[in-house]
Amino acid sequence: MTLEFHRIDFRYARNANLFTAFELRIDSPATVLLGPNGAGKSTLMALAASQLTPRRGAVSWRGRGCAGRGDRTAYRRAVAWLPQQVTPVPGLSVREQVAYTGWLKGMSRAAAWQASATALARVRLTELADRRSHQLSGGQLRRMGIAGCLTHHSELILMDEPTAGLDPAQRGVFRTLIEELAGEVSLIVSTHQTEDLAEIYRQVVVLDRGAVRFQGGAAEFHALGTAGAPRTPGAPGAPGSAEAAYARLVEREV
C-alpha cells in the first residue's frame, strides 16, 4: 500500500514554487509527517487528498492516480482526508453528518446510514449520535470526521494537525484512537507534536521548505537526538530525543 508523489511542482498563484520536482514514496501503515509552519505539510496533505492539483507531476495511491474525473472519484473513495477544521453541517445530527459523508463517497443512503452507526461506535460517539453536529466540542468534531472516513471504508486516512488546539485529555483520547486505527487502515498524520512517535508511528517524515529532510523509522529518527548513544532497534527514544532530532533536521533551536 503505497502513496507516491512523482516529480510534483506546485505553487499558489504567482508565488514561487513550494514544491519543485518533489519526490516522496510512503509505504508504511502508520506515518507521521513533521515540519515547522510553512514547511508545506498542509499543502502536501491536500495534494494527497486530491483537494489541490499539482502544476506538474502525479500523485497515486496503490498505483491509482487522481488526474482524471473518473480516476479522482475512485481515488477519493479510497483516500479520506481529515483537515485541520472539521465543519459541522447546519441542521444535521452527528449521525446524519457521518452518513452524509458516506453518501458523498458513492454509498447508497441505506448503506451509509447503517455504516454510520458502526463508525460512530468505533470513535466512541454513539451517545452523541442524535446531537446536532454544531454542538460538539473540537475534539468531538474531529472524532466525528474520522467516523466519516470509516463509514466509506477508506484504505488511507490523511489527518492534518488532528490534535492542534486540543487539551491534554482530548489529545489522550485521540492518541488512543490513532493507536487502534493504525492496525486497521493506513494513516498519515501531520503534526507539530513529537511525543510518543516510537509507540504509534512506524515511519517519520520531516518536511522543511518544501523538501524532505528525513524519512525513516521512529527509532532511527530518535537516534539523531541522542548524542551518539547506542540504540536498540525498535526501542522508544529517550526523553527529549525526538525534539532534539527534529530541531537538528529543521535547523531550529530546541
pLDDT in tens, the chain (254 residues): 799 999 999 999 878 889 999 999 999 999 999 988 888 999 999 999 999 999 999 999 998 888 877 788 889 989 999 988 899 998 999 999 999 999 998 899 999 999 999 999 999 999 999 999 999 998 899 999 999 999 998 999 999 988 888 888 888 888 888 888 887 899 999 987 776 666 788 899 999 989 999 999 988 998 888 755 444 444 444 546 888 888 888 865 44
* Under 8 Å between Cβ of 152 and 105: yes
Which residue, 95, 50, 57, 56, is CA-closest to 75?
50
- What residue type is assigned to position 113 of the chain? W
What's the DSSP call for residue 134?
G
pLDDT at residue 236, rounded to an integer = 47
Gap between the Cα atoms of 44 and 66, Å rounded = 15
HSE-CB for 137 with a 13 A CA cutoff? 10
Phi, psi of 189 (to 5 degrees): -120, 120
Which residue, 231, 206, 211, 212, is CA-closest to 220?
231
pLDDT at residue 252, rounded to an integer = 53
pLDDT at residue 231, rounded to an integer = 47
Task: Supply the pTM of this predicted model.
Answer: 0.87
Between 138-151 and 109-122, two packed helices, what is the crossing angle to 10 degrees?
130
Buried/exposed code over 184-222 (b: 16+ C-beta within 10 A; e: otherwise): ebbbbbbbebbebbbebbbbbbbbbebebbbbebbbbbb
What's the DSSP call for residue 207?
E
pLDDT at residue 16, rounded to an integer = 82
pLDDT at residue 242, rounded to an integer = 83
**Three cell numbers, residue 216:** 525513516
Which residues, at least 6 apart from 131, have a Cβ–Cβ distance to it below 8 Å?
Answer: 93, 94
